[in-house]
């Protein structure tokens, strides 16, 4: 289900009228006004390119949250059953829409906790090392929280990360990890690997890994394969069920616009749904719904991802995510992906049109191997360039040692945003 590559569809131009033409015919253009765009001092819109870090607020969030505040005000504890959206099964309101975002069956998805918590819960069940097979594979430049999580799991099981953690590096002089190198690693060391746990899209380089292929390769060697989709969920098309991924986790405050510290997602493949023998850390909300309130001492897990829940649902956080998922459901990941390819392709084209030795793009050129964000390496780690962007009301982020990430989000960024960004960059970067 590949979307056409940006360059195949459009020959980009550098003039402003091109951006205006693209905005005029953009089928998702109307979604911009569903979001609050932060303002500069002069009340004009900021150029916001940070949806990969914290997505903007849908204007409907307030009403969704106020509904629950109002039911709490009027009903107190009775809201669990008699609120307009009863709180007892509130998380179920999110399941189908979230499942569509990641290409999963509803039984495979649950919204709960936060990302790193879910990653640990998944490793409790799916990292089951033995003396012979105990290694974990992760990319060398993975997000720190993921590195801490896998290292602490190794130690928890009595293994030394120096021996049992395999970090995938790019080749010397390269920035990206080659799939063929992942392949040869699995070929060579597969029998000692218990778990491959990588990001779907690397937060630093913006490289999208070939999750389907990696899962296939891992499974051939009986390795469990899980992904951290923090930068992939709501950004690229995912087919977790079809790809046969064992588990996945993601946060919802980045591309999924659920607000700071928003509640996270978790995927467990249907193959594992009925396996009651998997070790897991249990809590009452994962217990069979029919008998949960009998308050018996023995844990009987719900079949599917819901069986990993621990606690009752943080309804206020879920309310804001609901507002956002409604928008995703209406727009659809196909349309979001099609615009993403165009918008990011346009950003790349304009960046390449700036004649300057002060920066280079390290994100893959192939649209199938990246999402929205482009990582721009700044020569000599010159952070003053980034500071100047902020002064001009351009919001993107700096990642040590030397990268500026720019992420146009298809639901609220326009081609004109990208054009205006480049006009500033031409002054600042040259
Ligand atoms: C954003 C991000 C996190 C953040 O973890 P939280 O538990 O939500 O604080 C973790 N891993 C990756 C890859 C991320 O991009």
Give CA separation, 330 vs 60, 240, 335, 347, in Å: 14, 21, 10, 26
Mean pLDDT, range 68-95, rounded to an integer: 98
Ordered domains of the chain (ranges, CATH): 6-34+332-429 (3.90.1150.10), 66-329 (3.40.640.10)
The residue assigned the tokens 């609050």 is 36
pLDDT at 274: 85
DSSP per residue, 290-328? TTGGGT-SS--BPSSGGGG--S---HHHHHHHHHHHHHH
Q: Which atom of ligand 1 is nearest to the CA of 228?
A: 13
What's the gap in Å between 145 CA and the centre of ligand 1? 6
Cα-based distances in Å from 392 to 217, 218, 353, 387, 398? 47, 47, 21, 9, 15
How many angstroms does the Cα of residue 114 sit away from the middle of ligand 1? 9
Q: Report, as an integer, the average pLDDT of 131-160.
A: 97
Whose structure tokens read 């109307």? Answer: 30
List, chain by chain if needed, residues with CB within 6 Å of any ligand 1 atom: 114-116, 143, 145-146, 199, 203, 228, 230-231, 251
Q: Which atom of ligand 1 sits closest to the CA of residue 254?
A: 1
Higher pLDDT, 347 or 289: 347
Ligand 1 atom closest to the Cα of residue 146 is: 11
pLDDT at 3 over 50: no
Q: Which atom of ligand 1 is nearest to the CA of 264?
A: 8
143: pLDDT strictly greater than 50: yes
- Out of 51, 151, 230, mutate this one to test ligand 1's pocket (max ligand atoms within 8 Å of CB): namely 230
Q: Is the pLDDT score of 294 beyond 90?
A: no
Q: How confident is the model at residue 105 (pLDDT cuts 50, 70, 90)?
A: very high
Q: Which residue minimizes the CA distance to atom 15 of ligand 1?
A: 230
* pLDDT for the residue numbered 176: 97
- Ligand 1 pocket check: which of 120, 139, 143, 254 to mutate, most ligand atoms within 8 Å of Cβ? 143
Distance 115 CA to ligand 1 centre (A): 6
| Residue 383 CA to ligand 1 centre (angstroms) | 24
CA–CA separation, 376 and 359 (whole Å)? 6
Helix (H/G/I), strand (E/B), else coil: 359: strand
pLDDT at residue 10 greater than cutoff 80: no
Atom in ligand 1 nearest the alpha carbon of residue 251: 8
Nearest CA to ligand 1 atom 14: 230
Per-residue pLDDT for 169 more than 80? yes
- Ligand 1 center–CA 148 separation, angstroms: 11
Q: How far is the CA of 198 from the centre of ligand 1 (A)?
A: 12
Closest CA to 200 of 119, 142, 117: 142
- What Å distances lie between residue 390 and 346, 358, 361, CA to CA? 22, 18, 20
Report the pLDDT averaged over residues 254-282.
95
The DSSP bridge pattern shows strands 193-199 and 135-139 to be: parallel
Q: Indicate whether 145 pLDDT > 90.
A: yes
pLDDT > 90? residue 314: yes
Question: For residue 143, which atom of ligand 1 is closest to its CA?
Answer: 13
Distance from residue 80's CA to the centre of ligand 1 (Å): 31
Whether the CA torsion 58, 59, 60, 62 is positive or negative: it is positive
Predicted local distance difference test score (pLDDT) of residue 296: 84
Ligand 1 centre and the CA of 326: distance in Å?
23
Q: What is the mean pLDDT of the chain?
A: 95
Model confidence at 399, in pLDDT bands (50, 70, 90)?
A: very high
Torsion of CA 238, 241, 246, 248, to 10 degrees: 40
Distance from residue 345's CA to the centre of ligand 1 (Å) = 26
């Amino acid at each position: 289900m590949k979307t056409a590559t940006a360059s195949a569809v459009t020959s980009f131009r550098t003039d402003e009228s091109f951006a205006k033409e693209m905005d005029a015919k953009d089928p998702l253009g109307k979604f911009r006004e569903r979001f609050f765009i932060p303002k500069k001092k002069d009340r004009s819109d900021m150029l916001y390119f940070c949806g990969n870090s914290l997505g903007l607020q849908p204007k409907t969030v307030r009403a969704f949250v106020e509904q629950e505040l109002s039911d709490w005000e009027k009903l107190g504890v009775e809201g669990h059953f008699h609120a307009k959206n009863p709180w007892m099964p509130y998380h179920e309101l999110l399941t189908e829409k979230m499942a569509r975002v990641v290409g999963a069956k509803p039984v495979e998805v649950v919204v709960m906790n936060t990302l790193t918590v879910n990653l640990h819960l998944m490793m409790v069940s799916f990292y089951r090392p033995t003396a012979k097979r105990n290694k974990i594979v992760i990319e060398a430049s993975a997000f720190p929280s993921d590195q801490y999580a896998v290292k602490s799991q190794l130690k928890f099981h009595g293994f030394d990360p120096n021996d049992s953690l395999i970090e995938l590096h790019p080749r010397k002089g390269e920035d990206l990890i080659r799939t063929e190198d992942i392949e040869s690693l699995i070929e060579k060391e597969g029998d000692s690997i218990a778990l491959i746990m990588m990001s779907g899209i690397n937060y630093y380089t913006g490289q999208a890994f070939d999750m389907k292929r990696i899962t296939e390769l891992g499974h051939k060697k009986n390795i469990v394969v899980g992904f951290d989709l923090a930068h992939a969920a709501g950004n690229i098309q995912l087919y977790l069920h079809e790809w046969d991924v064992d588990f996945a986790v993601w946060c919802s405050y980045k591309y999924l616009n659920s607000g700071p510290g928003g509640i996270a997602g978790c995927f467990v493949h249907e193959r594992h749904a009925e396996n009651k023998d998997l070790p897991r850390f249990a809590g009452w909300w994962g217990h069979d719904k029919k008998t949960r309130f009998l308050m018996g001492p023995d844990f009987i897990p719900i079949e599917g991802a819901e069986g990993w829940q621990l606690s009752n649902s943080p309804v206020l956080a879920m309310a804001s995510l609901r507002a956002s998922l409604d928008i995703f459901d209406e727009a659809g990941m196909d349309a979001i992906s099609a615009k993403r390819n165009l918008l990011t392709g346009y950003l790349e084209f304009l960046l390449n049109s700036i004649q300057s030795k002060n920066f280079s793009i390290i994100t893959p050129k192939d649209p199938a191997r990246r999402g929205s964000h482009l990582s721009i390496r700044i020569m000599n780690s010159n952070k003053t360039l980034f500071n100047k962007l902020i002064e001009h009301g351009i919001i993107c982020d700096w990642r040590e040692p030397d990268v500026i990430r720019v992420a146009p989000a298809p639901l609220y960024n326009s081609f004109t945003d990208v054009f205006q960004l480049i006009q500033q960059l031409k002054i600042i970067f040259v």
